[in-house]
Structure 1
Amino acid sequence: MSLDPWLVERLVCPATRTKLRYDEARQELVSDEAGVAYPVRDGVPVLLVEAARKID
């Protein structure tokens, strides 16, 4: 399932307020600035700091 590009363009990281990029393969919204990825569950972005996973 893919996210609407219009929506992705408008979403920001709740921690840094910077743009997110969508990783379709992993179904995540990635904040390069914060070094975390937010899950997308059943097509719904979960933009909770507690739900984010740290990325390398």
Structure 2
Amino acid sequence: MATTLGLDPTLLEIIVCPKCHGKLEPREIAGAEPGTGELACLGECGLVYPVRDGIPVLLVDEARN
């Protein structure tokens, strides 16, 4: 079963990368608190956005390659 990082599965179906509009895949970070992880863009830009306390931070300036 895939991780959702505490995010609503319906939300994960509709949000996309703000830069290239690619699909976002939730990923847990080993040893991190529940609700903390990242959303990785599967599109052309490949940016990774943080999820803090169950809230996705979908700002290109906060993303990493």
* Structure 2 counterparts to residues 1-56 of structure 1, below 5 A: 1-23=5-27, 25-26=28-29, 27-33=37-43, 34-54=45-65
Structure 1 residue runs without a partner (length 5+): none
Q: What value does the CA root-mean-square deviation take over the aligned residues?
A: 1.1
- Structure with the bigger percentage of strand: 1
- Give TM-score scaled by structure 2 length: 0.73
Using the aligned pairs only, state the percent identity.
Answer: 49
TM-score (norm 1): 0.83
Q: Which structure has the greater CA radius of gyration?
A: 2
Following TM superposition, the consecutive aligned residue runs of length 4 or more in structure 1 with deviations greater than 3 angstroms are none
